[in-house]
Chains A and B, each alone.
Chain A
Amino acid sequence: MGKTGCGKGTQAHRLAADFGYDLFSTGDRVRALSNEDTSLGRHIRDIHMSGWVPEWLASYLFAKAILEEDIDHGLVFESVARKPEEAKKLHEMHHMLNRSYVVLHLDAADEVVIDRMRKRQRDASDSEENIKKRLQAFYDETVRSLEFFREQGKVVDIDATRSPDEVYQEVLKAIAK
């Protein structure tokens, strides 16, 4: 977990690839749904849903993945539990199914991620205005998710201002515990 531009996508993909874990990304799942010939797929296409994922859908997607996919070897979540309600469900679920988990918080100051995002500018969604919106959403919602996970003793803070390789070493240490 972390702000936009903290490098969680890069780290999550690398971890999943190195260990053969499945990777769960809410954005990818929603894109897959939008290609389905179901009432939900059609509706997602009709409203041109992008970015913002309603809570029920976000929770549905991760709950279904945990229950129905073969993930006994491991699962890496990228961009999950952005809202505190989702965090509670994710925790409740792991608790009831006796699955352990750890939350890696890739911590970086606003200036650092804004600077990175300016350089990245992948597409129109990386505009200055959108970056600010995503940061605001992080402060409005995700900070409380992190607080919740912290109360459960699940959070490891990682300094995400360093190089991707250095951050990855910290990621490996955190999951080895």
Chain B
Amino acid sequence: MRPTTVIFIGPQGSGKGTQIEKLDQVLRGKDPTRRVVDIQTGRRFRAMAASGEGYTEKHVQATLNTGVLQPLFLSTVLWGDAMRTHLDNECHLLIDGFPRVIDEAKVLESALRFYDRNPVDIIYLDTPEEVVRGRMTSRARPDDTKESIEERLRWYREETLPVVEYYRVRPNAHVHDIDGTVSIDDVHRAILNALNLA
């Protein structure tokens, strides 16, 4: 099995984290000798903010509190750190929470090319806003206020959806449209089918 690169894109609450965990298990089972690297920018940010010590951490905390998208330079640093210590051209790579804007997609492309990781699969978890709102209000993380949820949805609509369209026309990228409204197991099955892992 060749090293795969899978990027998950979907609004918050579309189940990306859950689906990555399930896909991670499948890959480990099918290809036990290869490492699976999960890079989840959102989790890294929350972990960093929780530590709350340095300059970087304070800025992460401030951006999380306002619900605004983290500035590009912060994700560049988080990403670079992750790639510096974990990424090579042999592992399977699962990405969540990045890229959120087209500029980040370009940064990522530069990094994946550097590591000879082509092509990439995009799992687009298509989930309408009403569904996401419902799930988010029942989830209740500390950074989930009504305002921050709306702000992130707006960001997603205006900045992240164009990233999906960007990938549709890139060579070496395959966008798989997955219905994110069905059950966790059904979404998982659809993802495995899309990636020829079923």
Task: Please state if A43 and B55 are interface contacts (CB–CB under 8 Å).
Answer: no
- Name the B residues within 8 Å of A89 (CB-CB): 72-73, 76
Binding site for A on B (CB under 8 A): 54-56, 59, 71-74, 76-77, 79-81, 83-89, 103, 106-108, 110-111, 113-115
Binding site for B on A (CB under 8 A): 33, 36, 38-40, 42-43, 54-57, 59-61, 63-64, 66-68, 85, 88-89, 92-93, 96-97
- Name the B residues within 8 Å of A55 (CB-CB): 106-107, 110
Cα distance, A78 to B55, chains bound together (Å): 24
From B79, B89, B106, A85 is in contact (CB under 8 Å) with B106
From A38, A40, A63, A68, B76 is in contact (CB under 8 Å) with A63
Task: Please state if B85 and A39 are interface contacts (CB–CB under 8 Å).
Answer: yes
Cα distance, A85 to B81, chains bound together (Å): 20
Task: Please state if B111 and A56 are interface contacts (CB–CB under 8 Å).
Answer: yes
Q: List 9 A-B contacts (CB under 8 A).
A: A38-B84, A43-B89, A43-B114, A54-B113, A56-B83, A63-B73, A64-B81, A68-B55, A89-B73
Most B C-beta atoms less than 10 A away, residue of A39, A42, A54, A85: A39
Task: Please state if A56 and B77 are interface contacts (CB–CB under 8 Å).
Answer: no
Cα distance, A38 to B85, chains bound together (Å): 5
- Chain A, interface SS category: helix
Query: Contacts A92-B73, A96-B71: A56 and B80 contacting too (C-beta < 8 A)?
Result: yes
Shortest beta-carbon contacts, A-B, top 5? A60-B80, A40-B84, A56-B111, A93-B73, A63-B73
Chain B residue with minimal CB distance to A33? B84
From A40, A42, A85, B83 is in contact (CB under 8 Å) with A40
- Name the A residues within 8 Å of B115 (CB-CB): 43
Min CB distance, A30 to chain B, in Å? 12
Cα distance, A104 to B98, chains bound together (Å): 34
Cα distance, A60 to B83, chains bound together (Å): 10
Chain B residue with minimal CB distance to A61? B80
Query: Contacts A39-B84, A54-B111, A67-B55: A60 and B76 contacting too (C-beta < 8 A)?
Result: yes
- Known contacts A39-B84, A68-B55, then 10 further A-B pairs from the complex at CB < 8 Å, ordered by chain A residue: A54-B110, A56-B114, A59-B73, A60-B77, A63-B73, A85-B103, A85-B106, A89-B72, A89-B73, A92-B71
Cα distance, A96 to B81, chains bound together (Å): 21
Min CB distance, A90 to chain B, in Å? 8
Task: Please state if A59 and B107 are interface contacts (CB–CB under 8 Å).
Answer: yes
Query: Contacts A43-B115, A68-B55: A56 and B76 contacting too (C-beta < 8 A)?
Result: yes
Query: Contacts A67-B56, A68-B54, A93-B73: A57 and B88 contacting too (C-beta < 8 A)?
Result: no
Query: Contacts A39-B85, A43-B88, A54-B114: A64 and B71 contacting too (C-beta < 8 A)?
Result: no
